[in-house]
Structure 1
Amino acid sequence: MTFIDHLSELRRRIIYILIVFVILLMACFGFVSHIFDYLVSPLHEAGYQLMVISPGEVVTVYFSVGGIVATGLTLPFALYQIWLFVRPGLTPLERRYTVRLLPVTLALFVAGVCFAWFIVFPRVLHFLLYLSAKQFTVNLRAENYFSFLSTICLPFGFIFELPVVVVFLTRIGLVTPRFLSRIRRYAYLVIVVIGVLISPPELISHLSVTLPMVLLYEISIGLSKLVERRKARQSVQQEFAK
């Protein structure tokens, strides 16, 4: 394929993704009130209500809610389209490897978002509301609330992709288990700083954020070792085959 052919193929895949996104977005509008009630349930449990400051803001809020859900539902299809785009340039071994990796990537992203929604977000929200209510009258705009929600939850989806990224980098030779073990102390320091910054200042909240990230890092090291051993075994087999 020429460069123009690649661009045409990429455009076609992007159009497919956008079509599916629009269809799912329209479907979400049929359930937007239920989705809205579920996403604001932590706020209602704390005794607060959202507010809007203009008549048209409710439309923006509903588009934001529908867009967040539609994006999550479109993700599996988007990954499949990306796979179809890059598949012709991969070897049979790389294709099998990628096919195994895509479901894991999706599952880890969902696990990260769920962890943030059920564990991190309620603690951070309740702490900030408690801190604000001591000095101020708290009035929360709906648009700002959903922006805050996505800022907390989406990054955890990408943080949970760490094992997949490490496996890929090990596979192509950019990272080794020895390197990951050598920088472990610095990685732990970064994890602790992140955990302290995004969680309320009390021990249980810090641990609930930092321990899963530490566990992910250790899992990444273990997976990197497995990939390196498999690469070494394949190299030996190839040498004997010659």
Structure 2
Amino acid sequence: MAKSNPNEMSFLDHLEDLRWHLIRVTLGILICATIAFIFSGFVFEHIVFAPKRMDFPTYKWLCKASQFIGINDTTFCATEFPFKIQSRTVAGQFSADIWTSIYAGLVLAFPYVIYQLWSFISPGLHASERKYSKGFIFTTSFLFFLGVLFGYYIVTPLSINFLANYSISPEISNEFDISSYIAMVRSSCLASGLVFELPIIIYFFTKIGLVTPQVLKKYRKFALVIVLTLSAIITPPDIASQIIVAIPILILYQISIYISKIVVKNQARKQKRASA
């Protein structure tokens, strides 16, 4: 185990400390995954398969919005999607249940994972920096869950609506494999959750001197291209969906610039105090 004084820890002590943090993270995820597995019926019926039904809130909102602007012939106002979900392998449903529970456990245990990460790196920080631990864990978790919700309520239904109604010939019927469907839902939610961590990433990059507000402003145009490319990757290839996804990412980028300014000002203020 780690010594009481972090400054006296050897390399092997750090490895031992890291090992115990990883064990706690794994146990936390497994506990949450077990809970998700126990309630897998609820998870699949009311969460995983909810976006494939037309009574999903997003479709209702988009249907009303389309009718408000005078567009009545829209797929958002249909009665059902023209596709079925099938399991084409012997262990398909069991594997889907296991892996869905694991990823659900990862999402549920995310605040605990961040707490363990912070517990590992905090001994190397100054006392003034460690006092912000609660704020860091809350902000990081909030942004992640906000991104997951964005992926679930925006990216996932837009993707399903586009891909389910896309057809190259009436001779072809859509029968999606359960693993393919779940992978799309999972990637949309997790990718959005990680993208929403951009302000936190910029905060640490600014702290260690990798980026500055001036650099972020200078390469804003390149960032716009990257954002649009990222939006095209995690959404279906239609302009409306890409714009809907790109808008919050651009807002996060602007917030990151503001956060970077604050970090630089605080560092300059500390240097003045130290020199005085």
TM (norm. structure 2) is 0.80
Q: 1:83 to 1:199 in 2, by over 3 A?
A: closer
Equivalences for residues 75-86 of structure 1 within 5 A: 75-86=110-121
2:3 counterpart residue number: none
**Identity of matched residues, %:** 30
In 1, distance between residues paired with 2:226 and 2:26?
37
Judge conservation of contact 2:30–2:102 (CA < 8 Å) in 1. no
**Residue in 1 aligned with 2:212?**
176
Q: Does 1:68 align with 2:103?
A: yes
Say if 1:56 and 1:164 are closer, same or farther in 2 by CA, change over 3 A.
Answer: same
Post-superposition Cα deviations, 1:69-91, rounded to whole Å, max 9, x if no partner, equal 11111211121112222222222
Aligned length: 240
The residue aligned with 2:156 is 121
Work out whether 1:40 is the aligned partner of 2:76.
no
- 110, 117, 122: which one aligns with 2:145: 110
Does residue 249 of structure 2 align to residue 213 of structure 1? yes
Question: Of 237, 262, 265, which aligns to 1:226?
Answer: 262
Partner of 1:175: helix, strand, or coil?
Answer: coil
Distance 1:235 1:99, change over 3 A: farther
From 30, 36, 39, the equivalent of 2:38 is 30
Structure 1 residues not aligned, in runs of 5+: none
Mapped contact 2:156–2:185 kept (Cα < 8 A): yes
Change (3 A) 1:21 1:155: same
The answer to whether the Cα contact below 8 Å between 1:170 and 1:224 also exists between their aligned partners in 2 is yes
My pick for the range that moved more, 45-54 or 123-132, is: 45-54
Write the distance in 1 (CA, Å) between the matches of 2:272 and 2:194. Answer: 35
Structure 2 unmatched ranges of 5 or more: 1-8, 55-79
More helix by share: 1
Q: Secondary structure at the match of 2:88?
A: coil
1:209 Cα deviation from its structure 2 partner: 1.0
Please tell me the residue identity of whatever aligns with 2:139.
V
Q: Name 2:177's counterpart in structure 1.
A: 141
Letter in 2 for 1:154: L
Q: CA RMSD in A?
A: 1.9
Per-residue deviation, 1:99:
4.1
1:9 deviates by: 1.6
Cα distance in 2 for residues equivalent to 1:3 and 1:190: 38
* Residues 217 and 30 of structure 1: CA distance in aligned 2, closer, same or farther (over 3 Å): same
SS in 2 for 1:173: coil
Matched residue of 2:174: which SS? coil
1:204 counterpart residue number? 240
- Distance in 1 separating the partners of 2:20 and 2:225: 44
Contact residue 43 and residue 49 of structure 1 kept, 8 A: no
C-alpha separation in 2, matches of 1:75 and 1:206: 27
Tell me which of 87, 106, 112 is aligned to 1:52: 87
Flag the 1:201–1:140 CA change in 2: closer, same or farther, 3 A: closer
Amino acid at match of 2:138: P
C-alpha separation between the residues in 1 aligned to 2:242 and 2:32?
37
